[in-house]
Amino acid sequence: MRKTQIINPMLTSDIYFFNPTCELAIANGSPYYTAPARLRQFESDLGYMPAWLGEEMDQVLIQGAVDQSFNERMRALGFRLPEIMNLGEALSDELWLSRPKGRFYPWGWSPAVYYLLRNMLPNCSEAFRKSAVAYWKPDHKGLYSRLTALELLETILKNHSRDWLPDQADLPVVCSSLESIHHEIDRFLGPSTGSGTECPSTSLRDRISLAPADLQSAGAMFPTTIPISLQQSQFPSSQFPKVVVKLPWSSSGRGLLLFPNPDSPKKNDEVLSGMLSQQGFVTVEPWHKKVTDLSYQFEILDGEVKYRGRTFLETDPKGRYVRNYLTEDIEIQQDVKVFMEEHQAEVVEMLTESLSQSKYTNLYEGWIGIDAIVYRNDKGVLKFHPMLEINGRFTMGAIALKIRNYLAEGSNGFLQIFYSKTGNFQAFCQKREEEKPLVMDDRKIVSGFLPLTPPSPDHHFGAYVEVTAPPPHYS
């Protein structure tokens, strides 16, 4: 993964900042948005993560204390990472603020991050100040909504009729009322196992359509005229064991509610009402019997879409992110492997074409992670869902691609996020380093445990990789 840079004789630094709550900040809309306490802890503890994306001449702003011993250890191991700076100190340093800079790379854009770094941005490079992301625009909000992925998926299915892609009737449906949510849950699950609330039959057009005013306030890139393919009620291709309701602005498996679940109908309705009150609408979609999760990484520069690579990832039973694998050499059923490789080139072509024809090329610059899955339908037939979600920001998949460059040939492993309610990432790291000592060869990781963020006793969150050496007879 090589970051494209503007050649600058002054060798200006690009600036990185970790703000993974950007989707929540966008949904809130306020430049003064403050994330809940646990998420603020997450952002602070993992503030070092963008260091694995940048170059040695760059700088990363973090919200906590700078751990110089960690920086020195990483340099001693041969990792040429950016300089780490405390955010508050940097923003109060007039000399630093006035110094010419390259581009600004937050983890993701939002009104809040523009406001936070407002005094720094005027001194970024001319190339940045002329870019599509130099200023926050109302149209940017729609880029981060799940409706955008739905719209682009619709386009893919319209332009590419393939029996290995999802069926049209199985696509997510937009709902803005409890009644329509119940109806869609029952449609996918079947009334006997659905939401438990009887509701009258309504047309799919009524259930998916939002008033133009609602669309404008949501900033959604979704057509006010519903495509012909969605104007008539359609039954799903099969009954599904589960259905998921999703907030339009959320990420990493958050903002989801699965059905059926053990909570009472009253409790579920309270949660659903809260979701509607918070963001105005939700999407309802089937929970597929997936066999693997994938992440496709792209970068948009000057309106041109570039494919950067693919990673495999793992999620928990509720769809929340667990880990990224560092290589494509993972244990997977043979028929699944053959299926994926058979369609890999066409999937990349479809996604590239879809992004190139979208508003992203005019409104966005930077990395984009597209979540995809391979799943089996009720007949056991493999299907490829090429665009489950779009993340208009950096993702852990981008970092996994970067770490891949540090692996010794034939080595394999994963990137994972640590979390403990009681904290002490330091104790966890000490234990894992004793069990899996790090082995390096010519600045490449052969095997072992490596923390990617400082192993502090105060940190409830942390990031690390575990690497396995190649087999004895690998060549």
Domain end call among 403, 418, 445: 403
User: N- to C-terminal Cα distance for the chain?
Assistant: 24
**Pairing state between β 59-62 and 321-325:** unpaired
Residue 252's pLDDT band, with cuts at 50, 70 and 90, is low
Encode pLDDT of 131-158 as tens digits.
999 999 999 999 999 899 999 999 999 9
Kindly state the tokens that stand for 108: 């993701």
pLDDT band at 313 (very low <50, low <70, confident <90, very high): very high
pLDDT tens digits, residue range 62-115? 998 999 999 999 999 999 999 999 999 999 999 999 999 999 999 999 999 999
pLDDT interval class at 229 (50, 70, 90) = very low
In a domain, 155, yes or no: no
Judge if 181 and 244 occupy the same domain.
yes
Q: Which of 371, 403, 435 is the last residue of a domain?
A: 403
Quote the pLDDT of residue 473. Answer: 65
Residue 218 pLDDT greater than 50, yes or no: no
pLDDT band for 169, please (50, 70, 90 cuts): confident
Q: What is the pLDDT of residue 11?
A: 74
Q: What is the pLDDT of residue 192?
A: 53
Asked if residue 94 belongs to a domain, the reply is: yes
Specify if 169 maps to a domain.
yes
391 vs 368: CA distance, rounded Å: 6
pLDDT at 213 (0 to 100): 39
Residue 192 lies in a domain: yes
Over 90: is that where the pLDDT of 397 sits? yes
- Together in a domain, 22 and 129: yes
Give the per-residue SS3 of the chain.
CCCCCCCCCCCCCCEEECCCCHHHHHHHCCCCCCCCHHHHHHHHHCCCHHHHCCCCCCEEEECCCCCHHHHHHHHHCCCCCCEEEEHHHHHCCHHHHHCCCCCEEECECCHHHHHHCCCCHHHCCHHHHCCCCCCCCCCHHHHCCHHHHHHHHHHHHHHCCCCCCCCHHHCCEEECCHHHHHHHHHHHHCHHHCCCCCCCCCCHHHHHCCCHHHHHHHCCCCCCCCCHHHCCCCCCCCCCCCEEEECCCCCCCCCEEEECCCCCHHHHHHHHHHHHHHHCCEEEEECCEEEEEEEEEEEEECCEEEEEEEEEEEECCCCCEEEEECCCCCCCCHHHHHHHHHHHHHHHHHHHHHHHCCCHHHHCCEEEEEEEEEEECCCCCEEEEEEEEEECECCHHHHHHHHHCCECCCCEEEEEEEECCCCCHHHHHHHHHHHCCCEEECCEEEEEEEECCCCCCCCCEEEEEEEECCCCCCC
Taking 70 as the threshold, does the pLDDT of residue 203 lie above it? Answer: no
Q: Is 25 contained in some domain?
A: yes
Residue 391: domain span:
288-403
pLDDT at 408 over 80: yes
Helix pair angle (265-279, 178-189), 10° resolution: 120
Average pLDDT, the chain: 88
Q: Is residue 5 assigned to a domain?
A: no
High-pLDDT (> 70) share of the chain, %: 87
Say if residue 191's pLDDT is above 90: no
Final residue in a domain of this structure, among 342, 375, 403: 403
Do 439 and 465 reside in the same domain of the chain?
Answer: yes
Does one domain contain both 275 and 297?
Answer: no
15-17 and 104-106 strand pairing: parallel
How many residues make up the chain in this entry? Answer: 475
Looking at the fold, whether 56 and 82 belong to one and the same domain comes out as yes
Residue 412 backbone zone (phi > 0: left; psi -120 to 50: alpha; other: beta): beta
Please check whether residues 194 and 115 belong to one and the same domain. Answer: no
pLDDT tens, position by position, 351-381: 999 999 999 999 999 999 999 999 999 889 9
pLDDT, tens only, 331-348 = 899 999 999 999 999 999
How many independent structural domains does the chain possess?
4
Average of pLDDT values for 255-284?
93
Domain CATH for 371: 3.30.470.20
pLDDT at res. 2: 38
311 and 325 part of one domain? yes
Q: What are the structure tokens assigned to 38, written together?
A: 């646990």
Q: Residue 7 falls within a domain, yes or no?
A: no
Q: Is the dihedral of CA 24, 25, 30, 33 positive or negative?
A: positive
Q: How confident is the model at residue 18 (pLDDT cuts 50, 70, 90)?
A: very high
Same domain, 127 and 212: no
Residue 429 has pLDDT above 70, yes or no: yes
The pLDDT score that the predictor gives to residue 227 is: 35
Are residues 277 and 305 both part of a single domain? no
Examine the domain organization and report whether 337 and 428 are in the same domain: no
For residue 197, pLDDT beyond 50: no
What predicted TM-score, i.e. pTM, was given to this entire model?
0.87
Indicate whether 195 and 260 sit together in one domain: yes
Q: Do the domain assignments include residue 430?
A: yes
294 & 399 share domain: yes
Q: What is the pLDDT of residue 221?
A: 39
Cα separation, 27 vs 30, in Å, equals: 9
What's the average model confidence in pLDDT over 457-471?
95
